[in-house]
């Protein structure tokens, strides 16, 4: 399987203003290059007090721009040359002082000049500006900083927010720069097409756990990775995403609202009231079909006779079928995790639950894995995803699936309205 390169072909300007968080910028730069981006680094004088230009040059493979009067520029205009043809300007870290400069439109250093000179879309392709703030917690909450942040946003900058935690000064609070992985995710989202802009998506992911006694239960091997990848891909595509997750140990994709549940009944109760308010429902969760009819109040102990306990099972509610039967139902996409006869069982599920689309996969081959291969089944056709049928990483698959679903959703909405 080839390595995923989320930013392949992208030309980025990475700016560093002064702050201890510059140490994170080296890892961020490494990730940007690994993701396929061509990165041009601009550093303020303050940034060079915390990390060297030589370090950033070694990681980017390109000279680092540090001054307005760069004799290496043939026309003497590095602030113009850096942004023309760029896909984005990312400032990480963005200090309180630098954000103040942006809010006031000042341009006494190269990085602020670059931000001020970037095309805004009048006659040229717009170059988005993303800011990853980093400062002490008191500086972050100060009214002046909040005014400056609001003004920068009003002028078109995208604010990535801050993290909460230990700070270099020894205090604890908001103001830490986001970690490199989080900034990469936000940047990828900002540069992604938005076929689901204005849409609301509800998705289930992971297994459910049906308790037998206080320590045991019925569950399955679903890791939730595919569902979480779809949630991230939908957010990248512009959707407002709510993720109802069974018991899994996965980080929530940035910008996604998460509701944790344990059992199928809890998942049902979390999904059904919300479903009519959403445009799209994607049921990736591997929901247990059965649950014990009664729960033992205490752990079931061995009795020394080596006789296994028996218990009666009750059928769990069918969440997908219930949503698909709503009079004001969203567009429903089901998942079929099978162990054999994938196409046959997926099509049977499609017809039984009256769905427009089923996504089939072989559960034993994908549970817990980082890659997968899918089968798209609708009333008229069956086709693999990817087209060659070979496994791909789950985020790549999720993006392709969201692109496919967005096209179908537009057609479904138009036909429903007609």
CA angle 180, 1, 377 (to 5 degrees): 100
Q: Which of 45, 48, 12 is nearest to 29 (CA)?
A: 12
Q: Which of 240, 245, 243, 202 is nearest to 223 (CA)?
A: 245
108-126 pLDDT, tens digit per residue, is: 899 999 999 999 876 668 9
134-175 pLDDT, tens digit per residue, is: 999 999 999 999 999 999 999 999 999 999 999 998 999 999
String of DSSP letters for 143-211:
HHHHHHHHHHHHTTEEE---EEEE-TTS-EEEEEPPPHHHHHHHHHHHHS--TTTT-EEEEEESB--EE
Catalytic residue flag (residue 115) = no
pLDDT at residue 78, as a whole number: 79
Average pLDDT score over residue span 340-355: 88
Res. 272: pLDDT tops 70: yes
CATH topology for the 11-191 domain: Rossmann fold (3.40.50)
165-221 pLDDT, tens digit per residue, is: 999 989 999 999 999 999 999 999 999 999 999 999 999 999 999 999 888 888 988
% of the chain surpassing 90 pLDDT? 71
pLDDT at residue 238, as a whole number: 97
pTM over cut 0.75? yes
Identify which has the larger pLDDT, 321 or 342: 321
- Only one residue has tokens 């930013």, namely 7
pLDDT at residue 53, as a whole number: 96
Res. 347: pLDDT tops 70: yes
pLDDT at residue 337, as a whole number: 78
351 three-state secondary structure: helix
| Alpha-carbon radius of gyration of the chain | 25
pLDDT at residue 210, as a whole number: 93
Identify which has the larger pLDDT, 242 or 411: 242
pLDDT at residue 302, as a whole number: 78
20-55 pLDDT, tens digit per residue, is: 999 999 999 999 999 999 999 999 999 999 999 999
H-only helix segments in 237-307: 264-271
CB atoms within 10 A of CB 54: 9
269 three-state secondary structure: helix
Q: pLDDT band at residue 367, thresholds of 50, 70 and 90?
A: confident
pLDDT at residue 356, as a whole number: 94
pLDDT at residue 418, as a whole number: 43
Sign of CA dihedral 15, 19, 21, 26: positive
Domain ranges of the chain: 11-191, 200-292+308-417
- Separation of alpha carbons 336 and 265, rounded Å: 20
Res. 225: pLDDT tops 90: yes
11-191 and 200-292+308-417 have identical folds: yes
Task: Tell me if the domain spanning 200-292+308-417 has CATH number 2.30.31.70.
Answer: no
CB atoms within 10 A of CB 156: 13
60-84 pLDDT, tens digit per residue, is: 999 999 988 876 777 767 788 789 8
């Amino acid at each position: 399987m080839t390595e995923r390169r989320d930013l392949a072909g992208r030309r980025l300007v990475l700016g560093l203003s002064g702050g201890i968080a510059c140490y994170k910028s080296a890892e961020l730069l490494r990730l940007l290059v690994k993701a396929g981006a061509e990165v041009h680094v601009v550093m303020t004088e303050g940034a060079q007090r915390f990390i060297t230009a030589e370090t950033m040059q070694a990681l980017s493979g390109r000279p680092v721009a540090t001054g307005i009067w760069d004799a290496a520029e043939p026309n003497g205009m590095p602030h113009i040359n850096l942004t023309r043809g760029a896909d984005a300007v990312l400032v990480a870290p963005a200090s309180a002082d630098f954000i103040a400069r942006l809010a006031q439109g000042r341009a006494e250093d190269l990085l602020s000049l670059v931000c001020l000179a970037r095309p805004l879309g009048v006659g040229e392709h717009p170059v988005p500006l993303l800011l990853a703030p980093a400062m002490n917690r008191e500086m972050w909450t100060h009214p002046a900083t909040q005014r400056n942040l609001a003004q920068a946003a009003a002028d078109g900058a995208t604010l990535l927010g801050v993290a909460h935690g230990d700070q270099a000064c020894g205090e604890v609070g908001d103001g830490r720069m986001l970690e490199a992985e989080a900034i990469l995710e936000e940047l990828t989202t900002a540069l992604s097409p938005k076929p689901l802009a204005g849409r609301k998506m509800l998705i289930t992911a992971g297994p459910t756990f049906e308790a037998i006694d206080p320590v045991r239960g019925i569950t399955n091997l679903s890791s939730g990775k595919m569902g979480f990848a779809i949630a991230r891909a939908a957010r990248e595509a512009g959707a407002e995403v709510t993720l109802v997750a069974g018991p899994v140990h996965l980080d929530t994709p940035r910008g996604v609202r998460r509701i944790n549940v344990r059992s199928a009944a809890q998942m049902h109760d979390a999904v059904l009231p919300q479903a009519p308010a959403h445009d799209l429902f994607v049921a990736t969760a591997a929901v247990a079909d059965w649950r014990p009819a009664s729960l033992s109040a205490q752990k079931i102990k061995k009795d020394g006779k080596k006789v296994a306990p028996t218990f009666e099972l009750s059928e769990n509610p069918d969440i997908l079928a219930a949503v698909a039967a709503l009079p004001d139902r969203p567009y429903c996409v089901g998942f079929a995790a099978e162990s054999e006869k994938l196409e046959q069982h997926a099509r049977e599920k499609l017809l039984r639950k009256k769905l427009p689309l089923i996504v089939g996969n072989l559960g034993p081959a994908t549970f817990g894995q980082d890659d997968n291969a899918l089968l798209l089944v609708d009333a008229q056709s069956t086709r693999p995803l990817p087209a060659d049928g070979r496994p791909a990483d789950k985020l790549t698959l999720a993006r392709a699936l969201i692109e496919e679903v967005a096209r179908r959703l537009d057609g479904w909405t138009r036909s429903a309205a007609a």
